[in-house]
Structure 1
Amino acid sequence: MTFSILARDAETGRIGGAAATGSLCVGGWVLRGRVEAGLTASQGTAPSTLWGEAALDEMQAGSSAAQAVSRVTTPDPGRAHRQLAALDVLGGTAAFTGEASVPACASRSASGVIVSGNMLTSESVLDAVLSTFVSTTGALPDRLLAALTAGEKAGSDSRGLMSSAMLCLGPDMPPLNLRIDYSETPLGDLAGLLGRATARPYADWSYLVPTRQAPFRAPTDQDLARLNASVPTDMQGK
């Protein structure tokens, strides 16, 4: 049904996740994150958004990813139909795959990264996502997108893809929360949206808003003048 990746950039300390599925609205269903806690991906035949939030609560309170996943999944009688992955802020990872998950289903991990999936054409999808992320250099969002694209090329969700999403967080940046909720080409659309979100004028504006490290940041008159100058005339005032 879904394949997802959660990762920490060792150089910047930023964390990010991405997911794609053969159903609608993968971003709203699967990805959850908090700068002070980490990231989760909750998926499966009967995914629990409650799992994703509960695991974040656990990690924010000091639990490792492994502790969080165990504490959240163990008491749930419906866990056989669910899958959960977690990444804590130190890069620790863990995953759970219920025994009733639709094959191919599994998870893969390396230092600071975890990949999970179910209803895949084969587990080689997970191998492709993980190996591509590990071997790719550049900004975290670009590496995540490259990893998803490799998963699609390796076989993808057995139904094909219908939606995709990306969530990147860091104390020095506003959240990058991108969602393609329905498309015949969700990864291509996600790439296009990522390009727009990291280019002018949108990127100029994103540098002026508050972050965890600068919670009271606001634009100066000079910032606003520079921003307005970068906006096409037909977009000004909208």
Structure 2
Amino acid sequence: MTFSILVRDAETGRIGGAAATGSLCVGGWVLRGRVEAGMSASQGTAPSTLWGEAVLDEMQAGAPAPAAVTEVTAPDEGRAHRQLSALDLLGNSGAFTGADSVPACASRRDENLVVAGNMLSSEAVLDAVAQGYANATGTMPERLLAALQAGEDAGSDSRGLLSAALLCLGPDMAPLSLRIDASDSPLADLRALHDRATTGLYAEWARLVPTKEAPFRAPSEADFARLDETPRSE
């Protein structure tokens, strides 16, 4: 039903994830992240958003991603129909694929990266997503978008795609959380939304809001005057 990728930039400490599926609202169902914990992707034929939050709790408490995934998935009697992947702040990755997940279903893990998917045209989609990110240039969000496109080009969700999402976090940045919940062209729409969110007045405004490293940051009146076409709140 879904393919997802979670990544960490070892130089900046930023973390991110992207996902696409042949169903609705992949961003709300699949992707979770915390600057203090890492990233998670919970998916499957009966996905558990509880898994996505619980594995972040485990990692925030100090568990490495592989142990956190095991701790969360082992007690769940419905785990055969679910997938979970996680990436901690040190770049360790963990992944679980339930025995009754719809094929093609699997995961790929590497340092600072984990890819997972189910109901894919083939496992080649997973390799294409990972390679697409590795080969791409630009910012983390741009590379994640390239990874999703590579997955679609390699065969995608066997039903085609209906929704896509991107989530990037870092101690020095405002959250970038973008979702296309239903579209005939979700990857193109997600890329267009990313371009709007990372350029122009909106992007300038986003650089003025609080971050973990600057929790009390506030725009000045001069900033507001300069960005008077930018929304004051979101």
Deviation at 1:111, TM superposition (A): 1.8
Q: Distance in 2 between matches of 1:95 and 1:143?
A: 21
Pair 1:148-2:152 in alignment: no
2:99: which partner in 1?
Answer: 99
1:136: which partner in 2?
Answer: 136
1:109: which partner in 2?
Answer: 109
Deviation at 1:135, TM superposition (A): 1.8
2:23: which partner in 1?
Answer: 23
Q: Distance in 2 between matches of 1:60 and 1:50?
A: 15
Deviation at 1:69, TM superposition (A): 0.1
**For 1:101, what is the secondary structure of its paired residue?**
coil
1:79: which partner in 2?
Answer: 79
Deviation at 1:132, TM superposition (A): 1.1
Deviation at 1:11, TM superposition (A): 2.1
Q: Distance in 2 between matches of 1:177 and 1:195?
A: 13
State the Cα deviation string for residues 37-74 of structure 1 (Å, max 9, x = none): 00100000100000000000000000000010000000
Q: Distance in 2 between matches of 1:153 and 1:113?
A: 20
**For 1:191, what is the secondary structure of its paired residue?**
helix
Contact 1:42–1:52 (CA under 8 A) maintained in structure 2: yes
Q: Distance in 1 between matches of 2:10 and 2:139?
A: 11
2:198: which partner in 1?
Answer: 198
2:35: which partner in 1?
Answer: 35
2:220: which partner in 1?
Answer: 220
Structure 1 residue ranges without an equivalent (≥5): none
Pair 1:123-2:123 in alignment: yes
Contact 1:109–1:130 (CA under 8 A) maintained in structure 2: no
Q: Distance in 1 between matches of 2:29 and 2:186?
A: 16
**For 2:102, what is the secondary structure of its paired residue?**
coil
Over the matched positions of the two proteins, sequence identity in percent amounts to 70
Pair 1:50-2:50 in alignment: yes
Q: Distance in 1 between matches of 2:40 and 2:58?
A: 11
**For 2:86, what is the secondary structure of its paired residue?**
strand
Structure 2 residue ranges without an equivalent (≥5): none
Q: Distance in 1 between matches of 2:58 and 2:108?
A: 22
**AA matched with 2:18:** A
**For 2:85, what is the secondary structure of its paired residue?**
strand
Q: Cα RMSD (Å) of the superposition?
A: 1.2
State the Cα deviation string for residues 119-149 of structure 1 (Å, max 9, x = none): 0000000000001111222200000000000
Structure-2-length-normalised TM-score:
0.97
**AA matched with 1:128:** A
Structure-1-length-normalised TM-score:
0.95
Q: Distance in 1 between matches of 2:11 and 2:139?
A: 10
Aligned pairs, number: 232
**AA matched with 1:185:** S
Q: Distance in 1 between matches of 2:175 and 2:21?
A: 22
